Amino acid sequence: MTQILPSTVLQFAAGDPSLFVEFKDYWNQYRSENGPKGKTYTFSTKDQNGNPISFAEKESLLNAHLKREIGKRSGVDFSSAPLETLVSHPLVVYNTFAVVDQLIDAVLPDTITDSIGYFCDVRTAGYGDSFRFLVRPRDLFAVSKAGRLSMKTAEVKKQFDGEVTVIPEMHQLAVGVSLYRVLCGLDSLAFLVAKAIKSMESAMNREIYDIFQAQMVALSSSPAASALQISGYSQASLTKLAQRVQAWSGAAPIILGTKVALASILPDDANYRYDLVSDFVQIGFMRHAFGMDIFELPQIAAWETFGSTYLSDSYIYIIAPGTDKLIKLCLEGSTTSYTNNTFEHATLMQSTNIWKSWKAAVVTSSLGAVIAL
């Protein structure tokens, strides 16, 4: 299973990736229970001896493994002295969050791909690197009629590649943590890492959705508006846009939207019938219609206003990811963190800052279309 981990994580693991494989299993179960329904993730429901194991038991075993790993890397025997003494050891603090950083990097790329992989391609590079993309033209060469071996040359066509450079931007989150409570088992380090990953995923998703939707909505004011944007859903409008995207992109189109938006995709004939086990009743929309696959964009919370959601329910998108994905998400370097001194605050609460550098951008020669509901 080591091939599922990034090379930087494998390098950090130094030949023993068991902790990161174990955390990935824990993370898959965590998001299966706490993420949007309808997604399936691979995780084990049994321990190493084949006995059934609950999620709480799995979390407890993972936290114990984390503590052993931190002690091994710090060269500290946690049974040699009271924890009140050992939590201020600089190597314990350093190695705790060095492990946390690598746990985040072990699952974050796959997590983002699961959320927005239909229209976004995730790329990674080293710290300090920028990303350079070549965008090849989608146009074909012109073929003209000619006299029978009596014309030396036809109209010459020359195509040029475009180039887009993406420079990632640093992002930061800060969380209060009591290392004493973590190492004593009063607080769960595994849950803390899972919450940090979920927070980063949400921030990345919002940035990616903003860019994707802005690009699609901007079609209304572009020369392509009449060809790639239609107001009001109908079966005819959907199939018309889909065949345009397929013809110009050279790949089969798919349909994207939130659950509310996708519920609008129904045949124009009002005499259709569906039973209680149909996709429309079970999940709220059809999975396949008019020769195209349909995928839901998982809704995310707009934390600024209680009860609000972030993605617009007013659009249905048609794209052809088989040609090229519209958005590129560029992840720079590894996750890094800094934790202040144990005794810096009167409450002995430590502040941990976690940094991750990324940038999303529209980089493609593929086409997309949109229906404004």
Q: Where are the domains of the chain?
A: 211-327+366-372
Q: How many CB atoms lie within 10 A of CB 218?
A: 14
Strand partners, 294: 255
Pairing between β-strand 327-339 and β-strand 350-362 as defined by DSSP bridges: antiparallel
CB 4 within 8 A of CB 24: yes
**DSSP secondary structure of 269-282:** -TT----TTSHHHH
Sign of CA dihedral 46, 52, 56, 62: negative
Chain centroid, CA 341 distance in Å? 33
Burial-class residue 371 by CB neighbours within 10 Å (0-12, 13-18, 19+).
buried
**Would you state the pLDDT for residue 241?**
93
Classify residue 142 by its DSSP letter.
Answer: P
Ranges of the chain with pLDDT below 50: 1-3
- The four Cα atoms 266, 270, 274, 280 give a dihedral, to 10 degrees, of 20
- SS3 category, 310: coil
Classify residue 46 by its DSSP letter.
Answer: B
**Would you state the pLDDT for residue 224?**
65
Instruction: Give the chain's end-to-end CA distance (angstroms, integer).
Output: 45
Q: Could you tell me which of 52, 51, 30 has the C-alpha nearest to residue 41?
A: 30
**Would you state the pLDDT for residue 84?**
73
- The four Cα atoms 206, 212, 214, 215 give a dihedral, to 10 degrees, of 160
**Would you state the pLDDT for residue 73?**
92
**Would you state the pLDDT for residue 220?**
67
Strands lying side by side in the sheet with 169-177: 120-125, 327-339, 350-362, 169-177
Q: Which two tokens stand for residue 111?
A: 């997590």
Q: Quote the CA–CA distance of 338 and 93 in Å, as a whole number.
A: 9
Classify residue 306 by its DSSP letter.
Answer: T
Alpha helices for 175-303 (secondary structure H): 179-183, 189-217, 225-228, 235-249, 259-262, 279-282
Q: Quote the CA–CA distance of 360 and 262 in Å, as a whole number.
A: 25
**Would you state the pLDDT for residue 1?**
41
Q: What is the pLDDT of residues 81-108, one digit of tens each?
A: 777 777 778 888 889 989 999 999 999 8
CB 25 within 8 A of CB 43: yes
Pairing between β-strand 120-125 and β-strand 327-339 as defined by DSSP bridges: parallel
Q: How many CB atoms lie within 10 A of CB 98?
A: 18
Strand partners, 368: 319
Q: Which two tokens stand for residue 315?
A: 């659009």
